[in-house]
Structures are given as C-alpha cells and as structure tokens.
Amino acid sequence: MKSIWVMCGGKSSEHKISIASARNVVAALLEAEFSVSVVYIDRQGLWYLVSPESLLQSSTSTPRVKTSPEQRLAVTPGETRPFHKLDKPQEALIC
C-alpha cells in the first residue's frame, strides 16, 4: 500500500480553503485504499499529526481540526519533550 502525507492548514488567509481541499483529497485517497497521514498546520504555525478521520469530521462551513499536544510534530524553541516521528512517505501533497 502506497503511503501519502497530506499537509493542510497554515497561517495564511487560505487556511479554511486548504482544509476543505485536503478533506476532498483525503476522502479520495482513502477510497482508493492509500495509507494517508495528515499533517495539519494550525493558524499559529504549529504542526500536528491528525487522523484522516479527524479531518473528514471537521465542519465544512467552519473547518476546525481537533488537536492535542500529543499530536505535535515540530519542535519549538525551549521545548524538550519527544514528538511524533513520521516515516518517509512515498508521496506528499500540500493542499
């Protein structure tokens, strides 16, 4: 099974559009039986590993992806706790 990262969100004014686009891409990839990892970037620029289901369940009118500190991927200065490590994908898509 081919693994793909889908990255979405971010600090830009296109944050909501990025999430909506990623939702459509993830739904299609799951239907095609790809292994999907979703990297969500919140409005502050923090990166999180979220489940594809979490992305698909976010509201279409006001997309919000539920996150928790345990899902963080990137280290910010001064933090010392461990973060998730992702395996190298075969492909990556940025929405």
Res. 63: pLDDT tops 90: no
Question: CA distances (Å), 31 to each of 27, 46, 92, in order?
Answer: 6, 29, 17
pTM: 0.75
CA 37 from centroid of its chain's CA atoms: 7
Rounded to whole angstroms, the Cα distance separating 75 from 37 reads 19
Report the run of H or E that residue 92 belongs to, with start and end. strand 91-94
DSSP output for 3-56: EEEEEEE-SSTTHHHHHHHHHHHHHHHHHTT-EEEEEEE-TTS-EEEE-HHHHH
Q: What is the pLDDT of residues 12-50, one digit of tens each?
A: 999 989 999 999 999 999 999 999 989 888 888 888 888
Please report the pLDDT score of residue 30 as a whole number: 95
